[in-house]
């Protein structure tokens, strides 16, 4: 969480160093677990349903609710009305359909009882058109390849497609008469004509063939092998596909996925995993399934295949095991079971599919029946006949799972009825994540060092090219992969100098970009005297709090930070109400800061303290957990490291600055923006913007932050220009003029949202800035650079089978020709493979060279004051995430405006 509350301990250096989701023994470890993602939906349109509805040949198990609502009396989540179609599926045999039900309210004017309505997918399923790739780089743009730094020769987790894809792909539309009831059946009907079609990819409606068919319009005849029903396949030519465009590349991805079927991998969610190579960690009752994430894309000069190692955590227990535990330990086991499984993702082994549990019904059991074409059948008989599975407990409740978004958008509004006995739990619980030993045991297998990662990648390539089934697919489609990892040029930027005062010469950040040790000999860059502050502590923690306070004063003295003895306020207990009453009494005395010692990580107490001091009032707070301030083996000196970090953090919350790096630009305003969902209401989210105001590169920077609340349906652009204007006004109040240059780092954006961000946020921001500057008498174009920062990428780099050093930049080979983009490795990790961050410049009128933009981004990674080292993203992005996470997870409302000029959220 934050402050001194100890979150699940770190098991990777990059998690500690300010990366998203890192944990720290003090407030400022990067935010905690479960980062929400906000932002507008991708701008991809969809086709409305076409054709008549159909009836299935065999009714799937339907659950008839005996009561007028869900089992807990609350309505299930409503299905989406949006329409779309599934992604491509290849001509591979699919598992039989699963038990499903559909629930809809009774017609208006009825009794209000729940009615059962089965909605079927329309026969004319059209695939969503692919969004055009956002091209932000013009043909006459200056070079995107920098020259500053030491040249490097690196490897990356990409394989080159050796043979250029010069074959032509023909696109046909397929219509079934009568309408075909299921995707699996459509595949089967098309597969009957393999010899005629040759190599093909079929998605249920659209057919792509490597050979041109004999006629632009064909009618083929197929027959259902089980029922004998006859179908006509009306095939009509649509177009010729360019293999360099988005559709062609998607087909290449599908061909690669089909080739990977020869490796006997299992599809779980979106990725393929090797269940045969699972790694059991028996002492914690979990298994790790190794797998692969692959994608094909046109890069600078070649079509490259990106391959990344993935792991799926499977728990060695079923939902039925959890039910039995609840029955043994909880008097109200029904509610306990619901709490344990609602929202969890389960895997059904009979079809290797994953489902999210949305509800539990105790009124229906596996002995319940449902209607089929041949009459009623029970769930137990269905699973016995279909999968040869015997359900042992006939009286267990049933789990309900709402159909996934892609299915509901396709017209399917069904609920899946699942048997707990057949559902294996996946993922980790919060208690598991807080188990340091367990996370360490997992990290030994999941955090692969570069040499092990390279070995696994080469093994994958070798298996793909030696498996007979995979070879056949690649041979049919004339595809050949290079057996070696892609080599590419990189550069190592110079080490940054860290300045602790305006008069010092500074110290080098070091090869690992960590300058923690230098705090012993240097003051902080700018400090604020702390004279009025209070320490709130439960009576039983007074001794530990007193010892830690002495350590803080000693550490502050060494950094020239003046701290007066605070007033300690003991409390009789650590109840939430006691803290609130004590805080109310202290706040009336107008303190500069309040430190609270808490006995454990109880979230409701933490929320109450933060709400009182950040929303109701405007007092910076520091929260410390008793365990964090308790010395190891009774040696108080072991607390000095934590005390030093807490003192730095408190100085920042008061408005101080611990260190600086040299940024040779005057009149600069740097902005970071991020979004976090509200943990209580997922339809709401909070966008946080944090700006650093630098008027003179030798002076002390100022800060400004603001939070906007919006629902998922609202465009973030409504708030982005407005909040930027607030920051501009603050800059003008501080320095008497507008900034000469604005650098904007936007986090939390996927590739599918780039066009939306550009059309709505960037354009409206540029228009608003133009108005502000014109009203100030500045006629020239605003010098604005807008970055999209992306951490969630699969690209990795290797330097002679080792991790690249901090400051490594890659802007060629694996970058994209239509963008001005680059990868930056800004951190050093001791375990696993370091993750680079992708920077994409989608708007730039600054006139700066690419070298300057790369170096400026790297400098920004040195300025996150919760860690005396570099972060994965520029500091303003990390600040924005920290603030949005605090508001979305705990405050659930915007903080007081009186805190806008301080980093109170660290």
Catalytic site positions: 674, 747
The DSSP line for 5-33 is ---SPPSSHHHHTT-TT---SSS-SS--S
The two three-digit tokens of residue 91, written as one number: 């001509």
Decide if 47 contacts 85 (C-beta within 8 A).
yes
The residues with which 372 forms a beta bridge, in sequence order, are: 375
Decide if 44 contacts 752 (C-beta within 8 A).
yes
- For tokens 């976090």, the residue is 676
How far apart are the two ends of the chain, measured CA to CA in Å?
Answer: 11
Decide if 885 contacts 676 (C-beta within 8 A).
yes
The residues with which 786 forms a beta bridge, in sequence order, are: 744, 843
The residues with which 371 forms a beta bridge, in sequence order, are: 376
Decide if 62 contacts 100 (C-beta within 8 A).
yes
As a whole number of angstroms, the distance between CA 787 and CA 853 comes to 10
Q: In what order do the strands lie in the sheet with 200-202?
A: 200-202, 206-209, 169-177, 230-241, 217-223
The burial of 371, by beta-carbon neighbours within 10 Å (0-12 exposed, 13-18 middle, 19 or more buried), is given as: middle
Crossing angle between the packed helical segments 246-260 and 468-476, to the nearest 10 degrees: 160
Backbone angles phi, psi at 38, to 5 degrees: -110, -165
Neighbouring CB atoms inside 10 A of 661's CB total 17
As a whole number of angstroms, the distance between CA 490 and CA 795 comes to 14
Crossing angle between the packed helical segments 603-611 and 576-587, to the nearest 10 degrees: 20
Neighbouring CB atoms inside 10 A of 127's CB total 18
Neighbouring CB atoms inside 10 A of 665's CB total 17
Neighbouring CB atoms inside 10 A of 531's CB total 12
As a whole number of angstroms, the distance between CA 652 and CA 901 comes to 11
Output b/e per residue, 420-439; b: 16+ Cβ within 10 A.
bbbbbbbebeeebbbbeebb
- For tokens 């920098």, the residue is 146
Decide if 127 contacts 254 (C-beta within 8 A).
no
As a whole number of angstroms, the distance between CA 517 and CA 529 comes to 24
The residues with which 235 forms a beta bridge, in sequence order, are: 174, 218
Secondary structure class of 595 (helix, strand, coil) = strand
């Amino acid at each position: 969480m934050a402050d001194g509350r100890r979150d699940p301990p770190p098991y990777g250096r990059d998690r500690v160093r300010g990366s998203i989701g890192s944990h720290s023994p003090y407030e400022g470890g990067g935010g905690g677990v479960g980062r929400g993602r906000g932002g507008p939906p991708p701008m991809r349109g969809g086709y409305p349903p076409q054709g008549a509805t159909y009836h299935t040949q065999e009714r799937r198990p339907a659950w008839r609710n005996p009561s007028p609502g869900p089992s807990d009396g609350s309505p299930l989540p409503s299905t989406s009305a949006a329409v779309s179609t599934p992604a491509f599926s290849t001509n591979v045999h699919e598992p039989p359909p699963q038990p499903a039900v559909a629930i809809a309210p009774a017609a208006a004017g009825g009794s209000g009882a729940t009615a059962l309505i089965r909605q079927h997918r329309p026969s004319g399923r059209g695939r969503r058109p692919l969004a055009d790739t956002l091209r932000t780089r013009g043909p006459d743009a200056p070079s995107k390849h920098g020259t500053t730094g030491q040249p490097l020769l690196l490897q990356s987790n990409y394989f080159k497609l050796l043979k250029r894809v010069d074959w032509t792909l023909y696109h046909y539309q397929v219509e079934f008469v009568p309408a075909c009831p299921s995707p699996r059946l459509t595949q089967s009907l098309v597969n009957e004509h393999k010899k005629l079609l040759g190599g093909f990819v079929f998605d249920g409606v659209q057919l792509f063939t490597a050979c041109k068919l004999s006629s632009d319009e064909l009618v083929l005849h197929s027959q259902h092998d089980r029922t004998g029903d006859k179908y006509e396949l009306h095939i009509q030519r649509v177009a010729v596909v360019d293999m360099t465009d988005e559709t062609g590349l998607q087909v290449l991805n599908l061909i690669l996925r089909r080739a990977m079927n020869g490796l006997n991998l299992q599809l779980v969610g979106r990725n393929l995993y090797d269940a045969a190579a699972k790694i059991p960690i028996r002492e914690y009752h979990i298994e790790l399934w190794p797998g692969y994430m692959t994608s094909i894309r046109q890069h600078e000069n070649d079509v490259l295949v990106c391959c990344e190692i993935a792991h799926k955590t499977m728990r060695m227990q079923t939902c039925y095991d959890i039910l039995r535990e609840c029955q043994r330990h909880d008097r109200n086991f029904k509610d306990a079971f619901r709490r344990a499984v609602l929202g969890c993702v389960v895997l059904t082994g009979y079809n290797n599919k994953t489902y999210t549990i949305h509800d539990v019904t105790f009124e229906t059991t596996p002995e319940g029946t449902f209607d089929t074409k041949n009459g009623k059948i029970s769930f137990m008989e269905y699973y016995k006949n279909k999968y040869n599975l015997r359900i042992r407990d006939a009286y267990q409740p049933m789990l309900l799972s709402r159909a996934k978004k892609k299915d509901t958008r396709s017209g399917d509004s069904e609920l899946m009825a699942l048997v707990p006995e057949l559902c294996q739990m996946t993922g980790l619980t919060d208690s598991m994540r807080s188990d340091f030993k367990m996370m360490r045991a997992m990290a030994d297998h999941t955090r692969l060092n570069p040499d092990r990662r390279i070995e696994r990648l080469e093994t994958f390539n070798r298996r793909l090219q030696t498996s007979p089934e995979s070879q056949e697919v690649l041979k049919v489609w004339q595809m050949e992969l290079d057996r070696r990892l892609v080599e590419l040029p990189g550069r190592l930027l110079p080490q940054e100098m860290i300045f602790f005062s305006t008069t010092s010469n500074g110290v080098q950040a070091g090869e690992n970009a960590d300058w923690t040790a230098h705090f012993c000999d240097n003051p902080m860059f700018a400090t604020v005297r702390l004279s009025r502050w209070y320490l709130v502590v439960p009576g039983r923690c007074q001794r530990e709090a007193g010892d830690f306070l002495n350590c803080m004063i000693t550490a502050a003295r060494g950094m020239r930070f003046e701290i007066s003895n605070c007033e300690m306020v003991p409390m009789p207990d650590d109840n939430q109400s006691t803290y609130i009453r004590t805080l109310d009494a202290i706040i009336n005395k107008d303190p500069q800061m309040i430190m609270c010692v808490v006995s454990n990580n109880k979230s409701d107490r933490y929320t109450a303290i933060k709400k009182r001091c950040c929303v109701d009032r405007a007092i910076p707070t520091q929260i410390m957990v008793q365990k964090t301030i308790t010395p190891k083996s009774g040696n108080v000196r072991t607390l000095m490291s934590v005390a030093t970090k807490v003192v730095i953090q408190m100085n920042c919350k008061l408005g101080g600055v611990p260190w600086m790096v040299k940024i040779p630009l005057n009149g600069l305003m740097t902005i970071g923006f991020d979004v976090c969902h509200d943990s209580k209401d997922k339809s709401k989210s909070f966008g946080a913007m944090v700006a650093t105001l630098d008027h003179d590169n030798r002076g002390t920077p100022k800060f400004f932050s603001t939070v906007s609340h919006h629902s998922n349906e609202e465009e973030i652009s409504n708030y982005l220009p407005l909040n930027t204007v607030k920051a501009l006004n603050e800059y003008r109040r501080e320095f008497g003029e507008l900034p000469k240059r604005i650098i904007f780092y936007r986090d939390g954006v996927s590739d599918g949202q780039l066009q939306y961000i550009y059309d709505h946020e960037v354009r409206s921001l540029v228009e608003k800035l133009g108005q502000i500057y014109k009203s100030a008498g500045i006629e020239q174009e605003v010098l604005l650079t807008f970055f999209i920062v992306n951490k969630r990428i699969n690209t990795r780099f290797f330097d002679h089978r080792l991790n690249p050093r901090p400051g490594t930049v890659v802007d060629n080979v694996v970058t994209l020709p239509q963008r001005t983009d680059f990868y930056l490795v800004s951190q050093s990790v001791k375990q696993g493979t370091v993750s680079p961050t992708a920077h994409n410049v989608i708007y730039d009128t600054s006139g700066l060279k690419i070298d300057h933009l790369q170096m400026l981004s790297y400098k920004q990674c040195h300025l996150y004051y919760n860690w005396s080292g570099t972060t994965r993203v520029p500091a303003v992005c990390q600040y924005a995430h920290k603030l949005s996470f605090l508001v979305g997870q705990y405050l659930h409302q915007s903080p007081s405006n009186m805190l806008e000029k301080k980093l109170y959220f660290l």
